[in-house]
Chains A and B, each alone.
Chain A
Amino acid sequence: MIEFLLNGKKITSDAEADTPLLWVIRDEFGLKGTKFGCGIAMCGACTVHLNGSPVRSCSLPVSVVANADIRTIEGLEDQHPLQKAWIEHQVPQCGYCQSGQIMQASALLATNANPSEDEIVAYMSGNLCRCMTYSRIKAAIQDVATQSDSVVQIYNPKTEAKRTQGVS
């Protein structure tokens, strides 16, 4: 019996210890947004967050996630700015890889709110998009990064100084 948090909810699974987390998420708990693509952790369609870090659930035995915090695309609850940007930029074509793309990109922005273009490319190149929507994925991430830039700057000492000046 393995216990972990799935999108904030404590759950238990009696799947075999070596079962990839992907099948537990999809078939035992019915969250179908996480996709099966290659089965060898090279396409990224199965990307979920393990304690906030992106992992390939197709190759991660469920036993490894005991007591961990797992978040899937459903766990973003349509609230993540990337999801809005994905619609704004009309990113998906067939859409099959996009849950994984969004999970990968959201992990990037969580640790690096304002990544450079090179950083985006380096971080996202493990996620294959067979429809090749790459330029839109990149643009959508840059868009959100630019928005979050202002948020970051509120806490930037320089900006803070300016604000303080303005107030005084």
Chain B
Amino acid sequence: MTKFSKDTFEKSRRSFLIGSIGGGLMMAFAPSINALEVASGGAVKQLTDKLFSPTVWFEIDTNGMILVNIARAEMGQHVGTAIARIVADELGADWQNVEIKHVDTDPKWGYMVTGGSWSVFQTYVPMSQAGAAGRTALIEAGAKLLGVNPQDCKTENSMVVAGNKSVSFADVVKNGKIDRVFSADELAKFQPKNPESRQLIAKPSKALDIPAKTNGSAKYGIDVELENMVYARPIIPPTRHGCVVRSVDDSAAKKVKGYQGYKILKDPSDTVQGWVSVLADSYYGAVKAGNALQVDYDLGETANVSEQDIIAVGETLAKDKTSGTLVVDEGNVAKAAESAKTSLESIYRTSSVLHFALEPVNAAVEIIDGVCHVHCGNQWQSLFLPVVAKAMGMAEDKIIIHQYYLGGGFGRRLMGDYMIPAALTAQAIGKPVKLVFTREDDSRFDSVRSPSVQQMNAYWDADEKLLGIEHGAAAGWPTLAVAPGFMPEGVDKKGKYDPFSISGANHWYTLENHRVRAINNPLAQKTFVPGFLRAVGPGWTGWAVESFMDEIAHKQNVDPIDFRLSLLDASGKNAGASPVSVGGAKRLAKVLAEIREKADWGRTLPKNQGLGIAISAGQERDMPTWGACVAHVEVDPETGAVKVHKLTGLLDCGTVVHPDGALSQTEGSMLWGMSLALFEGTAFEKGQVKDNNLNTYTPLRMNNLPILDINFVQNTEFPTGLGEPGLIAVAPAIANAIFNAVGARVRDLPIRPKAILAAMPT
């Protein structure tokens, strides 16, 4: 299996093929294993025989239209626009002539996953090189047509230009014969254009997917219709694992018009255990019949688990300094603890959180000539295609997942578990099936962000010098649940850990003694499938790290920004590395210093108002997006209600490839951060989440909107990720602001008014 890593693409070495095919010009990466054969066979032959194995490819037709094929999921981040602009800028294309297409799971696309804020980061170099190779080939052919030397040519606005002579890409494609192979070495020599000569990257642009999203024509998974399909709705059993259907009584369901019976699903992949699907000739019929159906179960062992049970397990584990796997072990924390004159211990907790993507999960499936076609929007096709194959008892090459727009991803659709009941139902009835979860079904089947417990300890010597910090973080682990093979070993070699559930704890502050333990909460793991939720690990480890840094600063009577700056010295491992994390913690310090000015830090505010600061470094240490947030809040001391007046955000993600897309992602991610801080949280009750719909689950709405002041550091460094990082610093910034407003230190997410009142100094 291909390794699930954001480095997957960059490390592969492929040649690049450019050839005139069927009137057009096709450009594609060759399979790396096949480089020699490609060179001998020629690009045109390989491309004609469809022997290429690109991750992304593009083509130019005789009208000069450039089609860029996108293997990434579109879930609101306008990823196709960003990737196409990288290619088009290098090609020297007229942006008006560029189109994108989201593709299915043909193996030629390579490993398909969209998450981790990786897309631009991963594709920047290869797509720049692909575009540069295309430009070179177009110039060579264009120069011939113009009767000039290729060295005297450049491309701009989809033209090959030499002095006052020019020929359009369309005419080059029509009249030139191109058959060109760039070896992996040749390709590697192409450096992305220097920033001054960029025409598209970092320039204002409109997203290609937006017009269809303003007139109802954008097609999502839920909009798929298959000929002769039957509608289905699943009956979610009371526990995620271990339920067995004892009996089904459908006597009441039979009274529903259009009811077509039910199927008890047998799933060899064990994704769905104890599931029944209800069939009808309309979706509403399936919903009604589902409500009328009586299913009797043998329950799984977690049928009585509560949120508090899970938290209690986490607290015990976090407290036990021998539990978990060491992820950071700098200096000697145990010694620091022993020699400490004073210390501070704080426990931070976060509640279960739902993804609540507005399009309930769904899939439409049909089996044609022994091939299973799955239609849905998904973020991690390469992980779930084999699961579908296993569930169906079919070979992997007989499964195709067709991609659509995602009505929200946020990590929910990294899990493709919702494809399984649809596929099994289609197989069981021998007809195409469209299975749609109701909102309540979707919530009960969500892979929630696990409740978490983090214990933080800080130690000082007799001279009040900070000696070190110890951090234990216990939660359910998504990677353990769905891709355990991707878990690395801890620094103490005591076991493996989920890197996505601890990232953020390995921060950029320089500490002499620093220890981080990643701890799996086994009860969480048993009760539900822990999910990846926007910003994943840093989304909740940052809560503890940045709240605790504030607590330490206040304990030392130092300004929280001054305190943070004193630890951001970019020494040792925090120096960063070229090109991606060049500058290291210095860039974080710069962001912090700039936001201090921007937010007018230190000014006097009216009573019960406060500013709070927190910083973040993106999703992973080797792909840092340097960020900070200042929250301006007001607390009602009578009710504990919090009003967020303003969120100031500053991010350094290197080159901002698609500036408006970046701003829009950050507006969304910062408001997600605020929503998770103040408005969102559910709890397990009898083995399932208790909030299933908007009557009790209450994400942020327009009436909660604060002023947003978001800026990006302008530089030309390597582009990193932006889909998630804006979220991370918001909750701790709000909590730190609440402390500055009314002196209440809150340590549980979401922050409830009651907790603020309880923490108010008397």
Contact = CB atoms under 8 A, between A and B. Distances in A.
Given A86-B214, A93-B668, A133-B667, A27 B283 contact: yes
Q: Which of A42, A90, A96, A137 has the most CB of B within 10 A?
A: A96
Given A23-B284, A94-B406, A36 B436 contact: yes
B210 A92 contact: yes
Contacts of B703: 121-122, 125
Given A93-B75, A125-B703, 14 more contacts: A31-B216, A35-B359, A36-B222, A37-B358, A90-B664, A92-B209, A92-B210, A94-B408, A94-B409, A95-B214, A96-B357, A120-B702, A122-B703, A134-B702
A40 B695 contact: yes
A132 B409 contact: no
Interface residues of B, number: 59
B555 interface: no
B668 A132 contact: yes
27 contacts: A15-B282, A23-B283, A32-B219, A35-B359, A35-B407, A36-B359, A36-B436, A38-B694, A40-B693, A43-B694, A74-B215, A74-B216, A78-B214, A92-B76, A94-B359, A95-B218, A96-B357, A96-B405, A98-B213, A121-B703, A125-B701, A127-B701, A131-B668, A133-B667, A134-B671, A134-B705, A136-B667
A40 B660 CA distance: 34
B672 interface: yes
Nearest to B207: A90
Nearest to B694: A42
Contact of B700 (A39, A94, A95, A132): A132
Contacts of B705: 121, 134-135, 138
Given A95-B405, A132-B667, A32 B439 contact: no
B407 A94 contact: yes
A19 interface: yes
Q: Which of B206, B660, B693, B701 has the most CB of A within 10 A?
A: B701
A107 interface: no
Contacts of A83: 214-215
A98 to B, nearest CB: 5
Interface of A is mostly: loop
The 9 closest A-B pairs by CB, nearest first: A33-B216, A95-B213, A93-B76, A96-B407, A94-B76, A132-B671, A92-B213, A42-B694, A73-B216
A33 B218 CA distance: 8
A78 to B, nearest CB: 5
Contacts of A19: 282, 284
A90 to B, nearest CB: 5
B214 A39 contact: no
B443 to A, nearest CB: 10
A150 B219 CA distance: 36
Given A27-B283, A40-B695, A130-B699, A96 B664 contact: no
A122 B701 CA distance: 10
B220 interface: yes
Nearest to A45: B358
Given A16-B257, A36-B436, A38-B694, A131 B214 contact: no
Given A42-B694, A87-B206, A92-B76, A130 B216 contact: no
Nearest to B406: A94
A93 B225 CA distance: 24
B702 A95 contact: no
Given A36-B360, A72-B216, A94 B222 contact: no
B275 interface: no
A91 B701 CA distance: 15
Interface of B is mostly: loop
B358 A73 contact: no
Contacts of B220: 35, 96
A34 interface: yes
Interface string A5-24: 00000000001100110010
A144 B439 CA distance: 33
Interface string B281-315: 01111000000000000000000000000000000
Nearest to A92: B213
B410 interface: yes
A97 interface: yes
B708 A43 contact: no
A42 B695 contact: yes
A89 B615 CA distance: 29
A87 B211 contact: yes
B396 interface: no
Interface in B388-417: 405-410
A114 interface: no
Contacts of A130: 356-358, 408, 410, 699
A2 interface: no
Contacts of B75: 93-94
A40 B222 contact: no
A152 to B, nearest CB: 24
Given A37-B358, A93-B664, A122-B703, A98 B214 contact: yes
Given A87-B211, A90-B210, A94-B76, A33 B217 contact: yes
A73 B672 contact: no
Contact of B209 (A33, A45, A95, A131): A95
Given A32-B216, A43-B358, A94-B405, A27 B282 contact: yes
A128 interface: yes
B702 A121 contact: yes
Interface string A114-153: 0000001110111111111111111000000000000000
A136 to B, nearest CB: 7
